Structure 1
Amino acid sequence: MAQTSIEWTELTWNPVTGCTKITAGCKFCYAEVMTKRLQAMGVEKYKAGFKKVKIHEDALQIPYTWKKSKVVFVNSMSDLFHKDVPLEFIQKVFQVMKDNGQHVFQVLTKRAGRLAEISPLLPWSHNIWMGVSVEDNRVLDRIDFLRQSSARVKFLSLEPLIGPLPKINLSGIDWVIVGGESGHKARPMNPDWVLDIQEQCQSSKVAFFFKQWGGKNKKKAGRELNGQTYDEMPDVELERFI
């Protein structure tokens, strides 16, 4: 487990590391940059590099040690539904999340087709939030695959947003996160794209979270939209405290 600066979660938990790029949203992958940095620091878990997908059985025990309720981003450094992650291991990860119902686990994938395919084989529980990344209109089919899953809470991560997304079908979607790309070569995000998505969420009564404008200096760019911050979360988030 690791503390994180990601605005919409509290901790990261990585039972899998390593990935491969599949679409335009992967071009300047944050996980790839971080993997290279950790590898250079001699961190054992990342010695195989980014392009080698590795499972970490020992990491499965970590959530059982947390004493207080947490909001946890699962596999920030990989994709749990990557083709090189065995179904049996994915099932183990889901069982760990089910066993630890006092925590909220946020799982995010770009491999939405595999998610839909194996969803019936996974032990879903109330505390597993399932999301897909959608960077532009070329990958909108990921949302349809997400809808086919058995997740109680379904969310979209529109980050890095590199194109407009008018008329998103938000049926069955509980939460939308929007963010611009960061880094020296960051592709620009048009404010009109963000405003349009915010209005779509408002009309559909879907929680909207604006993460960042991004760019070369994301801290300076900030995360205000129309002079305010949007930190909305699904209503069910509070149920973990009941």
Structure 2
Amino acid sequence: MNLTKIEWCDYTWNPITGCTNNCEYCYARKIARRFPKKFNGFKPTFYENRLIEPYNTPPPKKRKPWIKKAFPNTSLTFTVSMGDMFAAPDFLWINKILGVFWDCNPYGKDLRLHFDHEFHIFQVLTKFPSNLWHYLPHDNIPMNLWLGVTVNFNKELPKLDCLTIHRRGIRFVSFEPIFEEVKLSLLPRWLDWIIIGGMTGSRKMNCETNPEMRSWIENIINFADKHDIPVFIKDNAKYPEKIRKFPYGGEI
């Protein structure tokens, strides 16, 4: 596990790396191109030796204050940041990772508090949400798994319906990078969290380089406020106001 500068989590954890989606703006793929041996050419790969890492990894001593305020005793762990957990899934891979989720769940399998391991909330983003229905146990998904879908264009919004498989936990969308004004009529009201970000690198896209993005973000914020959905805006969006809200409360 690695400490990360990503604003909405403490750690990244990669028991799987690689993806088959070929997004031209994927930061993980760019890193993998620089270090092809380290990431097996970005082919989906499982690293069983990394499964032990969350058990003995406590919240970092120096935490982002907005995370510490919201989750003082639980680490936020972005799982498979260097790929997509559901790009080319294998039942064995998924089941072993789910076992770690359960073991590090602050509520345990029977929803009673236990203290056997360090506590983690595992945040998973996917571009392949239809695979959730094939590889997750519909009635036995741990509550400390936050499931999210990356959406860059309005045509991808219907994919969010696949998140309804997760009836007990947090379901969220990440508009990063956000490329167009979101059709709010297609955005589910049952979402638990919305992340918004810009695009970095040589093709920067944010509220400074693309001023109309500010109105796109404001529209999402207004929608979210109306439906009590917390919003987290990343710094790379260059939005003038700091908005860093989480499910279950906590904000800066």
Task: Work out which of the residue numbers 155, 167, 173 in structure 1 matches 2:191.
Answer: 173
Task: Work out which of the residue numbers 159, 174, 192 in structure 2 matches 1:142.
Answer: 159
Which residue number in structure 1 is paired with residue 124 of structure 2? Answer: 107
List runs of 5+ in structure 1 lacking aligned partners: 215-222
Q: How far does the alpha carbon of each residue in 1:136-179 deviate from its partner, in whole angstroms, 9 at most, with x for none?
A: 10101111111233451111111111111122433321100001
**Residues 1:61 and 2:52 aligned together:** yes
The separation in 1 between residues aligned to 2:25 and 2:58, in whole angstroms, is 36
Q: How far does the alpha carbon of each residue in 1:21-44 deviate from its partner, in whole angstroms, 9 at most, with x for none?
A: 25xxx22110011222344xxxx6
The separation in 1 between residues aligned to 2:250 and 2:101, in whole angstroms, is 15
SS in structure 2 of the partner of residue 76 of structure 1: coil
**Residues 1:127 and 2:121 aligned together:** no
Q: How many residues align?
A: 218
The alpha-carbon deviation at position 118 of structure 1 amounts to 2.9
The separation in 2 between residues aligned to 1:79 and 1:122, in whole angstroms, is 23
Is the alpha carbon distance of 1:79 and 1:151 closer, same or farther for their aligned partners in structure 2, counting shifts above 3 Å? farther
Identical columns (%): 31
**Given the two structures, how large is their TM-score scaled by the length of structure 1?**
0.82
Q: How far does the alpha carbon of each residue in 1:51-74 deviate from its partner, in whole angstroms, 9 at most, with x for none?
A: x11111111111112134311000
The separation in 1 between residues aligned to 2:222 and 2:19, in whole angstroms, is 34
- 8 Å CA contact 2:157, 2:187 repeated in 1: no
CA RMSD of aligned residues (A): 2.1
SS in structure 1 of the partner of residue 123 of structure 2: strand
List runs of 5+ in structure 2 lacking aligned partners: 60-73, 106-118
Task: Work out which of the residue numbers 24, 27, 30 in structure 2 matches 1:27.
Answer: 24
- 8 Å CA contact 1:110, 1:132 repeated in 2: yes
The separation in 2 between residues aligned to 1:15 and 1:137, in whole angstroms, is 31
Query: Which residue type is aligned with residue 77 of structure 2?
Result: V
Task: Work out which of the residue numbers 97, 119, 130 in structure 2 matches 1:93.
Answer: 97
